[in-house]
Amino acid sequence: MDQWKVHSIQSRRLKMTTFATTPRMTEEHITHFCDNPRCEMGTMTSVPDMSIVKAAGWLIIDMPMQNVVARDLDVTIDGSRVTIKSLPRIDAPSTPVRIVRDHMRTSMERVIELPDPVDMERRELIKANLLDGVLRLVVPTMKASQERRTLHRNDAIA
């Protein structure tokens, strides 16, 4: 049986409460972990959590991206698919220096299927922001009437 714990988070702007589970590790959990399709030879592929909020013709996508610099990110939008890639850049100094890190950055790729197609006519309004380890994408979506109009245009061409 899982136990629920409440963790209080203080933010500069708001106070929120999150709920998280703390499961007891059993043989069943370990077996399930290794049956996971992302589990390969005992290592898990890095897939960050994310949230998508739909509001007034916009999609707001928040994804934690710890230890990533904005210049290492590549965001591609194609129709209703967003691809986010991060490839760590290793800048070598001219003289040898000993570097100690607690967490080595790894490459990551995430493809997100959006619930609504992106309005590419308003692509100049697309915003991406990496702040405090969270990547936020704000993307305009097509309205239902625009989708129908686009479909009819494609039908007329074919």
CATH of the domain at 36: 2.60.40.790
Q: Can you list the positions of beta strands (E) in 12-116?
A: 15-22, 39-40, 43-44, 51-55, 58-64, 73-78, 81-86, 108-113
Domain that holds residue 113: 3-90+105-157
- Checking if the pLDDT of 144 tops 50, the result is yes
Q: pTM here? A: 0.54
- Give the pLDDT confidence score for residue 136 in this predicted structure: 92
Residue 116 confidence (pLDDT): 85
Number of domains in the chain: 1
In a domain, 110, yes or no: yes
pLDDT recorded at residue 36: 47
Q: Which stretch of 36-45, 79-88, 124-133 has the lowest confidence by average pLDDT?
A: 36-45
Residues 44-59 have pLDDT tens digits of 445 557 888 888 888 8
pLDDT at 38 over 80: no
